[in-house]
Amino acid sequence: AHRNQLRQVLAGKKVTVTAGATVERIDPVRFITNDSSGKMGIAIAKAARDMGASVRLIAGTVQVPLPEGIETVRVQSAQDMYEAVLGEWNHTDIMIQTAAVADYRPRTVYETKMKKKDEGFTLELEKTVDILESLGQRKQGQFLVGFAAETNDVAEHAMGKLKRKNCDLLVANDVTAVGAGFGTDTNLVQIYDAQGLVADLPLMSKDEVAIQLLSVVAKRLNGVST
Ligand code: CTP
Ligand code: CA
């Protein structure tokens, strides 16, 4: 019965999910990236699809196969992901930003391979665009969900990000916990809204986290009981 209620809310809704790691080039053979596997975002995309939503996945580097039957846009850099997200934004109902987006990129991208020198060298970095914060400023009825990987003071950081980025929900996970965070098949998360903690979920598979999260989203959208 619960799944049917979820289906009723999500059927036909346009859900955009970002997943995986961005890649910031240094030169043609070198780049900066992070450990994101894309598993959480892919689990959400599949779960939303299974509930009848029309899903678009925007994927950086992922370490698992991309799901078949979900329209997927591949991107490299934070800037590429930003542009892909903006392309979907006007017709998105629910935006879920699980991607681990680089905070910085090399100030200069060398067109030819950098040659080794005798001394060390300093790589200068500049800020990337904060995609989620930018979406938070442009919200026109879209339901916006952010993620946050934290190592300490999880609740405080989560609430700070939720407010700064104007998210409707923020999913926080303590990446120092066993079975949580990058690369694992399970996750240990808390879900926050502007009032504070909404759900403190036990350790469960990322597929199950996806369903729990979509239940909370559906409840917020249509007052479905969960
Ligand atoms: N995010 C984003 N664009 C960025 C950085 C982050 O859209 N340039 C999004 C992530 O996809 C995630 C949320 O913001 O949904 C939180 O990311 P996180 O790295 O935890 O937060 P930051 O604001 O980057 O802060 P910090 O890295 O200092 O913890
Ligand atoms: Ca960050």
- pLDDT per residue rounded down to tens, the chain (226 residues): 677 888 889 999 999 999 999 999 999 999 999 999 999 999 999 999 999 999 999 999 999 999 999 999 999 999 999 999 999 999 999 999 999 999 999 999 999 999 999 999 999 999 999 999 999 999 999 999 999 999 999 999 999 999 999 999 999 998 888 888 788 999 999 999 999 999 999 999 999 999 999 999 999 998 655 4
Looking at ligand 1, which residue's alpha carbon is closest to its atom 18? 148
Question: Of ligand 1's atoms, which has the minimum distance to the CA of residue 170?
Answer: 15
3-state secondary structure of 37: coil
Binding residues for CTP: 103, 113, 147, 161, 165
The pLDDT, as a whole number, for residue 222 is 84
| Terminal CA-CA length for the chain | 10
CA of 72 to the centre of ligand 1 (A): 21
Q: Is the entire prediction scored with pTM above 0.90?
A: yes
Partners of residue 126 on adjacent β-strands:
105
3-state secondary structure of 203: coil
3-state secondary structure of 12: coil
ipTM: 0.99
Ligand nearest to the CA of 164: 1
Mutation pick for ligand 1 pocket among 101, 126, 151 (CB with most ligand atoms within 8 Å): 101
Sign of the Cα torsion 33, 179, 97, 59 reads positive
Mutation pick for ligand 1 pocket among 81, 161, 190, 213 (CB with most ligand atoms within 8 Å): 161
The pLDDT, as a whole number, for residue 182 is 84
* Binding pocket residue ranges, ligand 1, CB within 6 Å: 78, 97, 99, 101, 103, 128, 130-132, 146-149, 161
Question: Of ligand 1's atoms, which has the minimum distance to the CA of residue 127?
Answer: 8
The pLDDT, as a whole number, for residue 5 is 83
Residue positions annotated with a catalytic role: 34
Sign of the Cα torsion 218, 200, 136, 182 reads negative
